[in-house]
Structure 1
């Protein structure tokens, strides 16, 4: 198994950013998710995508959260989506979301969504769209409904990233959680093959696998990253890199490393635990520049 370190990143660089560019050429990200219970989750994902270098971020969330989210994130456009009775994204949001796909280079689907979201209907709408986004990242509730849709996801081979934590991986692969803990590399390799996607299995050590069976291991950014919103930030970093034109494996590996190293730096400056997820994105630009 190959270690994910600076040497690997230097040999697999991110797409350069040309001097003569504009925000659309830098990459357009659409982030759909959030809920009335966690209305600010998409702010974390949005800032992380911008800090990773994306030029344009658009947010699609439940109606009651949209205005506040737009005020909190003035750099982003915000679109309202219908909510269900639980305050999560409703099935009717799928058709509106499909209308927005032409506005993005990468769709991040799911951050901030809970188990009451109509995630299956949303994912079905996106996967069946005539003009799907060039790249797609699935997170949170969308991972919980992906197991029965693996063939449709696999049809997007080479364009999809999945970012499960161990509990989500258990649902994704219908797998025993104990086996995931014992053999994370085997499970992430099987998941990448089954879904035809790059899969980043988050944990104390994070494993990233390709459908072809390549696996990288990152030794982790420390216990401080085990905090609310940390996964939303990781999704944003990876999505921002995808929108810039990085291949899914490169985007996922760089995203995992940047997220982890940001945690290390905050741990050294603030303390091993107690820093906030919203502090992570500010570390990303300098880390990218150093490599």
Structure 2
């Protein structure tokens, strides 16, 4: 096990854009998810992706939330997707999303989606055609479908990042809940091998496992991060770093560190509890400029 600290970050720097870069070369992120119940989740994820350095942002969500979301995030292009009777993304959303993949470098799928979303129907067409030029973050409710698509995810050859919290990890791995507490490190590594993907097991400590690589441990950014929207921000940071060209393990590790250290900074300035998920993205540029 290796601690995720300043020494590790210095040895694994992020790709930096040159002075002649443009917004396309800084990377294009597509964030898809949300619902009529949680219409603002993609705002958090999308802003985090831009704050992490991505050049262009696309947001795809249920039709009733699309226009308000576009007003909230004027930097983004917004696509309306069909909803089901529960106000979640509908069965056809995955097919429509697959058509948009040609125009993105990284996809973040799942923030703001609930249990009544047809996760399998959405995920299947999205992962059906692996592309060596595209990376993905699978988050939140979409992880429940990943458990049934091991072969499809493996075919992406390590270009997918899975971001479960303990409850999602139990469903993803279909394991005894006791394993989360007894051996989180081993469970994360087993998941990475099973899916041939980066597995980021979130919690008071966060474990980052990658096939064929050493296990990373981040000790946590404090209890204030246990708040609504915090995970949506983390998924967006990772997506933005992937779009910039960071390798999946590096993007996942830097994303965890940036998210945690943003929480530390807010805790020092505001208090250990009570800062908001939407306050985290604003801390990211400064942390990127001077990691310590």
Q: What TM bracket, shorter-length normalisation?
A: over 0.9
Which deviations, in whole Å up to 9, do the C-alpha atoms of 1:159-192 show, x marking residues without a partner? 1100000000000001122211221100000000
Q: Identify the residue that residue 285 of structure 2 maps to in structure 1.
A: 285
Secondary structure of 1:45 counterpart: helix
Contact 1:209–1:216, Cα closer than 8 Å, also in 2: yes
Contact 1:101–1:133, Cα closer than 8 Å, also in 2: no
Rounded to whole Å, the distance in 2 between the matches of 1:16 and 1:72 is: 28
**Number of equivalences:** 291
Counterpart check, 1:194 vs 2:194: yes
The 3 A distance-change label for structure 1 pair 170 and 15 is same
Query: Which 4+ residue blocks in structure 1 deviate beyond 2 angstroms?
Result: 129-133
Root-mean-square deviation (Å): 1.1
- Return the offset for 1:133: 6.4
Counterpart check, 1:40 vs 2:6: no
Secondary structure of 1:59 counterpart: strand
Which deviations, in whole Å up to 9, do the C-alpha atoms of 1:205-234 show, x marking residues without a partner? 000010115210000000000000000000
- Return the offset for 1:279: 0.2
5+ residue gaps, structure 2, are none
Q: Identify the residue that residue 92 of structure 1 maps to in structure 2.
A: 92
TM-score (ref. length: structure 1):
0.98
The 3 A distance-change label for structure 1 pair 140 and 132 is farther
Rounded to whole Å, the distance in 2 between the matches of 1:133 and 1:143 is: 22
TM-score (ref. length: structure 2):
0.98
Q: Identify the residue that residue 137 of structure 1 maps to in structure 2.
A: 137
Rounded to whole Å, the distance in 1 between the matches of 2:196 and 2:240 is: 21
Contact 1:44–1:233, Cα closer than 8 Å, also in 2: yes
Which deviations, in whole Å up to 9, do the C-alpha atoms of 1:117-167 show, x marking residues without a partner? 111111101111476861011001110111111111001012110000000
Secondary structure of 1:227 counterpart: coil
Q: Identify the residue that residue 67 of structure 2 maps to in structure 1.
A: 67
Contact 2:137–2:160, Cα closer than 8 Å, also in 1: yes
- Return the offset for 1:98: 1.1
Q: Identify the residue that residue 209 of structure 2 maps to in structure 1.
A: 209
Rounded to whole Å, the distance in 1 between the matches of 2:131 and 2:14 is: 26
Rounded to whole Å, the distance in 2 between the matches of 1:74 and 1:133 is: 27
5+ residue gaps, structure 1, are none
